[in-house]
């Protein structure tokens, strides 16, 4: 029997943090999920630590690949997803105990609605302190036809319908190990509806070694991926302000 949810964790040198991720999954009120860990060429003991993790509560699938960046680990994971829905759980963050149950319950409301690709929840530093509040909630919305188009790629916790997401791989450029996740979320938001729910399910802390802390450097160090994102955001369905900003960024990255 297949699980309802696939939880994807790209893993790179997180030997001191990955245990917290595992503990948060063990502590879930619902265990109708699989945990897919993609080790992206870690040079520490991260892989060995996950390899020793055992539980009868849910299935753990552990894979190893050569280092290529988080987006390549996500692309790699697509072929292994068995859940009807999926989420990305970073290796330095964790889920609140009711997260899995809430995600599955919300998706049951839209299971037959083929226009909905994503149900977006909140991330926060704790249960009561969300990073971002959406402008509208609890109904399918097309982000590019509303003011929500600036929220779609902000710091929220997205859950996806797997059969849709696997058709949206992250672009990969030889020699580059980073591309903004908006390179996929923007395309999904253009083609499908989202549902925004203002409830914190995901707890995150920004580590000094994390992607968010180093985002400006990463964009400049991986210019072809950054060009791809800026080029897309100069499309006519974006606001004039967004198109002008990305025209300037496009020149910088070029």
Q: What does the block give as tokens for 225?
A: 């991926």
- Tell me what pLDDT residue 213 has: 56
Q: Are strands 85-88 and 193-203 parallel, antiparallel or unpaired?
A: unpaired
Beta-carbon count within 10 A of 56 CB: 6
CA nearest 61: which of 86, 96, 44, 94?
A: 86
Q: What is the pLDDT of residue 154?
A: 61
Instruction: Report, as an integer, the average pLDDT of 141-150.
Output: 64
Q: Tell me what the mean pLDDT of segment 64-86 comes to.
A: 98
Task: Quote the pLDDT of residue 136.
Answer: 61
The pLDDT of residue 153: 47
pLDDT > 70 fraction of the chain, expressed in percent and rounded: 91
Q: What is the DSSP string of 95-140?
A: E-TTHHHHHHHHHHTSTT-TTEEEEEEEEESSTT-BS---SS-SS-
Rounded to an integer, the average pLDDT of 69-94 is 98
Q: How far apart are CA 126 and CA 202, in angstroms?
A: 8
Q: Could you tell me the pLDDT band of residue 133, with boundaries at 50, 70 and 90?
A: confident
DSSP structure class, residue 248: H
Query: In 3D, which of 51, 81, 54, 70 has the Cα closest to residue 11?
Result: 70
Q: Which of 65, 30, 31, 35 has the alpha carbon at shortest distance from 50?
A: 35
The CA–CA distances, whole Å, from 38 to 81, 93, 112, 137 equal 12, 15, 30, 32
pLDDT in tens, 32-65: 999 999 999 999 999 999 999 999 999 999 999 9
Q: What is the residue whose two structure tokens read 């997180």?
A: 14
Q: Which of 122-126, 162-166, 238-242 has the lowest mean pLDDT?
A: 238-242
For position 63, what pLDDT does the model report? 98
Cβ-based burial of 33 (10 A; exposed 0-12, middle 13-18, buried ≥19):
buried
For residue 157, pLDDT beyond 70: yes
**pLDDT > 90? residue 147:** no
Specify burial of residue 77 (Cβ count, 10 A radius: 0-12, 13-18, 19+): buried
- 178: DSSP letter: -
Whether 5 shows a pLDDT value over 70: the answer reads yes
Cβ–Cβ under 8 Å, residues 203 and 94: yes
pLDDT at 135: 62
Looking at per-residue pLDDT, the higher value among 138 and 149 belongs to 138
Are 172 and 228 within 8 A, CB to CB?
no
2, 81 in Cβ contact below 8 A? no
Digit-coded pLDDT (tens) for 88-126:
999 999 999 999 999 999 999 999 999 999 999 999 999
Angle at 30 between CA 199 and CA 107, to 5 degrees: 55
Range with the lowest mean pLDDT among 11-20, 49-58, 112-121, 135-144?
Answer: 135-144
Using DSSP bridges, classify how beta strands 156-161 and 85-88 pair: parallel, antiparallel or unpaired.
antiparallel
Residue 194 phi, psi dihedral angles, 5° rounding: -120, 155
> With 90 as the cut, is the pLDDT of residue 181 above it?
yes
The larger pLDDT score, comparing residue 217 to residue 71, is at 71
Which residue shows structure tokens 């037959």? 112
At 139, is the pLDDT very low, low, confident or very high (cuts 50, 70, 90)? Answer: confident
Q: Is the pLDDT of residue 209 over 60?
A: no
């Amino acid at each position: 029997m297949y699980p309802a949810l696939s939880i994807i964790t790209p893993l790179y040198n997180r030997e001191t943090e990955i245990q917290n991720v595992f503990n948060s999954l063990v502590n879930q009120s619902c265990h109708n999920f699989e945990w897919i860990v993609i080790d992206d060429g870690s040079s520490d003991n991260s892989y060995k630590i996950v390899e020793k993790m055992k539980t009868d509560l849910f299935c753990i699938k552990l894979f190893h690949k050569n280092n290529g960046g988080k987006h390549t680990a996500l692309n790699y994971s697509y072929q292994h997803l068995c859940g009807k829905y999926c989420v990305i759980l970073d290796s330095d963050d964790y889920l609140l105990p009711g997260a899995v149950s809430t995600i599955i319950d919300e998706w049951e409301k839209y299971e037959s609605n083929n226009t909905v690709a994503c149900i977006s929840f909140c991330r926060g530093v704790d249960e009561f302190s969300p990073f971002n509040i959406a402008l509208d909630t609890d109904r399918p919305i097309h982000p590019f036809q509303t003011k929500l188009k600036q929220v779609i790629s902000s710091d929220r916790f997205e859950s996806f319908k797997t059969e849709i997401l696997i058709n949206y791989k992250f672009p990969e450029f030889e020699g580059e190990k980073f591309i903004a996740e908006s390179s996929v979320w923007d395309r999904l938001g253009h083609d499908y509806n989202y549902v925004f729910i203002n409830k914190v399910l995901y707890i995150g802390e920004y580590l000094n070694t994390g992607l968010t802390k180093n985002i400006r450097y990463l964009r400049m160090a991986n210019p072809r991926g950054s060009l791809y994102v800026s080029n897309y955001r100069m499309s006519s369905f974006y606001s004039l302000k967004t198109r002008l900003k990305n025209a300037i960024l496009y020149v910088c990255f070029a």
